[in-house]
Structure 1
Amino acid sequence: IGTRLVAEQHIALHHSSQAHAGPPGPESYIGVIDTELQPASVINACGNFVSEICELKYGVRPTWVIDGDPNTKFAYVPVHLEYIITELLKNAFRATVESGNSSRPIVITIAAEPPDEEDATDTMLDNRLASLPVAAGPPGVTIRIRDEGGGISPAVMPSVWSYSFTTFEDGDDIPGAATGAERSGMDALNAIASGGGVNSSIAGLGYGLPLSRTYAEYFGGGIAVQSLYGWGCDVYLRLKGIGKL
Structure 2
Amino acid sequence: MLQSTIRFARLGNKSLLTRPFFCSSITGNRHTTHAHHLKHNKAAINLSHLDFQAYYKIRSNIELLIQDYSRKPIPPLSYKFLTEYQKPLSQTEKYNLAIKTINQLISLTCRQLSLIQNLPYIVLLNPKINQINSLYLKTLESLLSITFPYDLYKNDLILSLLNHLNEEHNDTLLVLSDGLKEINNELLSNEAISKFLDVHIRDRITMKLIILNHLALLSPKTEPDMIGIIHKRVKISQFINQTFEFVNDLCQLKFNLPMSTTGNSSMITYITGEEIEFPCIPVILEYVLTEILKNSMKAHIENDVTKPIEISIFETDSDELTVRIRDYGGGIDPKIEPKIFQYSFSTTLDSTFSKIHEENNGNQRETDSVIGSCQNDSSVPQLMMPGEVENNTISGMGYGLPLCKNYLELFDGDITIQNLWGLGTDVYIKVKGPNKSLLADRK
Unmatched runs of 5 consecutive residues or more in structure 2: 1-204, 261-265, 372-389, 439-443
Alpha-carbon distance in structure 1 between the residues aligned to 2:281 and 2:287? 10
**Identity score, percent:** 36
Alpha-carbon distance in structure 1 between the residues aligned to 2:366 and 2:236? 27
Alpha-carbon distance in structure 2 between the residues aligned to 1:171 and 1:46? 20
Equivalent residue of 2:435, what SS? helix
Partner of residue 423, structure 2 = 231
Equivalent residue of 2:209, what SS? helix
Where do residues 181-192 of structure 1 align in structure 2 (5 Å cutoff)? none
Q: In the alignment, is the contact (CA less than 8 A) between 1:174 and 1:204 conserved in 2?
A: no
Read off the aligned partner of 2:307 and give its amino acid letter.
R
Partner of residue 99, structure 1 = 303
Equivalent residue of 1:175, what SS? helix
TM-score normalised by L of structure 1: 0.75
1:24 to 210, 213, 222: 222
Per-residue CA deviations over 1:181-226 (Å, capped at 9, x if unaligned) read: xxxxxxxxx8999975644656221111110111111111100011
Q: In the alignment, is the contact (CA less than 8 A) between 2:357 and 2:364 conserved in 1?
A: no
Query: If you compute each CA radius of gyration, which structure gives the higher value, 1 or 2?
Result: 2
Alpha-carbon distance in structure 2 between the residues aligned to 1:194 and 1:82? 22
Unmatched runs of 5 consecutive residues or more in structure 1: 16-20, 115-137, 179-189
Partner of residue 270, structure 2 = 66
Alpha-carbon distance in structure 1 between the residues aligned to 2:249 and 2:332? 24
Alpha-carbon distance in structure 2 between the residues aligned to 1:227 and 1:195? 34
Alpha-carbon distance in structure 2 between the residues aligned to 1:193 and 1:159? 33
Match status 1:216 vs 2:408: yes
Equivalent residue of 2:301, what SS? helix
Match status 1:113 vs 2:324: no
Alpha-carbon distance in structure 2 between the residues aligned to 1:86 and 1:6? 22
Alpha-carbon distance in structure 1 between the residues aligned to 2:408 and 2:363? 23
Alpha-carbon distance in structure 1 between the residues aligned to 2:343 and 2:365? 16
Partner of residue 146, structure 1 = 326
Equivalent residue of 2:417, what SS? strand
Partner of residue 11, structure 1 = 215
Q: In the alignment, is the contact (CA less than 8 A) between 2:334 and 2:421 conserved in 1?
A: yes
Per-residue CA deviations over 1:107-148 (Å, capped at 9, x if unaligned) read: 01101113xxxxxxxxxxxxxxxxxxxxxxx21110000000
Alpha-carbon distance in structure 2 between the residues aligned to 1:203 and 1:177? 13
Alpha-carbon distance in structure 1 between the residues aligned to 2:424 and 2:356? 31
Equivalent residue of 1:167, what SS? coil
Q: In the alignment, is the contact (CA less than 8 A) between 1:177 and 1:191 conserved in 2?
A: yes
2:238 to 41, 50, 58: 41
Name the one with the larger helix percent. 2
Partner of residue 175, structure 1 = 355
Alpha-carbon distance in structure 1 between the residues aligned to 2:289 and 2:368? 15
Equivalent residue of 2:355, what SS? coil
Number of aligned residues: 203
Alpha-carbon distance in structure 2 between the residues aligned to 1:112 and 1:49? 25
Partner of residue 341, structure 2 = 161
Partner of residue 282, structure 2 = 78
